[in-house]
Amino acid sequence: MPQRFPFTAADAAKAPVFKRRCAPEHEKFHSSYHTHTMNLAHLLLRAARAHPHRLALARGEQATMSFAELAIHCAALAGAFRHRLRLAPGDRIALFMNNRPEYLEVMCAAWWAGLVVVPVNAKLHPSELSYIIEHSGARLVVTDAALAPAVELAGNRRATLLTGSPDWYRMHDDAPIDMAEVRPETPAWLFYTSGTTGRPKGVTLTHRNLMVMSLGYFCDVDSIACGDCIIHAAPMSHGSGLYILPHLAAAATQVTPASEGFEAAEIFSLARHYRGATLFAAPTMVRRLTAHARAGAETGEGLKTIVYGGGPMYGADIRDALDCLGQRFVQIYGQGESPMTITVLSREQHADVGHPRYAERLGSVGLPHTGVEVRILDETGRALPAGTVGEVAVRGDVVMSGYWCDRQASARTLADGWLHTGDLGRLDEDGFLTLIDRSKDLIISGGSNIYPREVEEILLTHPAVAEAAVIGRPDPEWGEQVIAYIVLAQGSKAAAAELDAHCLNHIARFKRPRHYRFVDVLPKNNYGKVLKRELRQIAD
Minimum gap (Å) between residue 427 Cβ and ligand AMP: 15
For residue 516, what are the contacts with CB-CB under 8 A and spacing of at least 6?
Answer: 483, 484, 486, 496, 499, 500
What whole-number distance in Å separates Cα of residue 339 and Cα of residue 397?
11
Q: Residue 222 CB, nearest distance to ligand AMP (Å)? A: 16
| Closest CB 359 distance from ligand AMP, rounded Å | 16
| Candidate list 438, 473, 502, 512; residue touching ligand AMP; CB under 6 A | 438
DSSP strand E in 358-418: where?
Answer: 367-368, 373-377, 390-395, 402-403
Q: Does 336 bind ligand AMP (CB under 6 A)?
A: yes
Binding span for ligand AMP by CB under 6 A among 38-46, 206-214, 310-318, 506-514: 310-318
- Helices vs. strands in the chain: H and E counts, helices first: 20, 25
Paired sense of beta strands 390-395 and 373-377, if any? antiparallel
Which of 33, 268, 333, 432 forms a contact with ligand AMP (CB under 6 A)?
A: 333
Nearer to ligand AMP, 276 or 334 (CB): 334
Q: What share of the chain is helix, strand, coil (3-state, %, to 5)?
A: 35, 25, 40
**Dist. CA 524–CA 526, nearest whole Å:** 7
425 belongs to the binding site for ligand AMP (CB under 6 A): no
**Stretch near ligand AMP under the rule CB under 6 A, chosen from 11-19, 255-263, 315-323, 329-337:** 329-337
Shortest gap between Cβ of 438 and ligand AMP (angstroms)? 5
Residue 293 or 307: which CB sits closer to ligand AMP? 307
- 413 makes contact with ligand AMP (CB under 6 A): no
The answer to whether 252 touches 229, Cβ cutoff 8 Å, is: yes
Q: Shortest distance, CB of residue 337 to ligand AMP, whole angstroms? A: 7
Residue 476, SS3 per DSSP = coil
Beta pairing partners, 480: 474
Give me the least distance between CB of 78 and ligand AMP, in Å please: 28
Q: Give the Å distances, CA to CA, from 183 to 48, 111, 138, 186, 348.
A: 22, 12, 21, 5, 37
Closest CB to ligand AMP among residues 100, 438 = 438
Across 154-311, the runs of DSSP E, i.e. the strands, are: 159-162, 187-192, 202-206, 229-231, 253-256, 277-281, 303-309
Q: Per CB under 6 A, which of residues 149..208 are in contact with ligand AMP? A: 193-194
435 near ligand AMP, judged by CB under 6 A:
yes
Give me the residue whose beta carbon is nearest to ligand AMP: 335
The stretch among 212-220, 309-317, 321-329, 461-469 that binds ligand AMP (CB under 6 A) is: 309-317
Task: Work out whether 404 is an interface residue with ligand AMP (CB under 6 A).
Answer: no
Binding site for ligand AMP (CB under 6 A): 193-194, 309-312, 331, 333-336, 365, 421, 423, 435, 438
